[in-house]
């Protein structure tokens, strides 16, 4: 009985081992990519202040804020308070001028007139008020004004055409009357000259 022949497996070449290791490393890198950290992340200062506000009382916070010397800080707060004051003022005006609690066109006209009057009293000229109005960029604001101006311009053009037609007719009528009168005058002058010649014997 013959025994099976044993085959010897040759060891892999060093190049093959290195290549296989590189493949394994590449596959692992693809499977678990390196974390990407965000750079230049802006700190949320507002959130930080909100957290710290829980530690201090309101009065303490206001006292600490007086130490801030950055003008832009106080300017921004003044701007936001200005807007809030304007909103509160507007609400009181709407309550004053509203008709039976309804905000009508007349209500907004009165509010606009009130603001314009106050601005004039505070030194704004009519030209400055006009420039302020012209600074409005919303098309929905300019649309109704454009419609009024367009319809007015069309009406003026029609009126102008009517006046032109009337003037033309008047001119033609006067020309016809002048043409009718001219022959009568010439006949009279001929009669007079004939009578004159007969008397003088010329």
- pLDDT for 157-184, tens place per residue? 998 998 888 888 888 888 777 777 765 5
For 90-137, the DSSP string reads HHHHHHHH-BTTB--HHHHHHHHHHHHHHHHHTT--HHHHHHHHHT--
pLDDT digits (tens, 9 = 90+) for 47-103: 999 999 999 989 999 999 999 999 999 999 999 999 999 999 999 999 999 988 899
Tell me how far the alpha carbon of residue 201 is from its chain's centroid: 94
pLDDT band at 155 (very low <50, low <70, confident <90, very high): very high
pTM of the model as a whole: 0.57
Mean pLDDT of 136-163: 94
Cα separations (Å) of 23 from 5, 16, 18, 26? 35, 11, 9, 5
Residue spans per domain, the chain: 43-90, 98-135, 141-174
Integer angstrom CA distances of residue 31 from 22, 23, 42, 109: 14, 12, 31, 69
């Amino acid at each position: 009985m013959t025994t099976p022949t044993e085959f010897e497996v040759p060891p892999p070449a060093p190049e093959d081992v290195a290549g296989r290791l590189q493949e394994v490393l590449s596959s692992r890198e693809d499977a678990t990519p390196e974390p990407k950290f965000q750079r230049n992340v802006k700190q949320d200062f507002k959130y930080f202040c909100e957290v710290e506000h829980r530690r201090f009382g309101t009065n303490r916070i206001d006292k600490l804020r007086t130490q801030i010397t950055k003008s832009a800080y106080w300017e921004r707060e003044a701007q936001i308070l200005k807007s809030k004051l304007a909103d509160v003022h507007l609400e009181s005006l709407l309550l004053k001028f509203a008709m039976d609690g309804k905000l009508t066109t007349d209500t907004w006209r009165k509010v606009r007139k009130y603001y314009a009057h106050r601005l004039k009293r505070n030194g704004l000229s009519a030209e400055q008020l006009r420039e302020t109005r012209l600074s409005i960029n919303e098309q929905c604001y300019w649309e109704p004004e454009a419609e009024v101006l367009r319809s007015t311009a069309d009406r003026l053009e029609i009126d102008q055409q009517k006046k032109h037609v009337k003037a033309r007719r008047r001119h033609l009528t006067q020309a016809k009357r002048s043409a009718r009168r001219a022959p009568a005058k010439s006949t009279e002058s001929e009669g007079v000259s004939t009578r004159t010649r007969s008397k003088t014997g010329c």
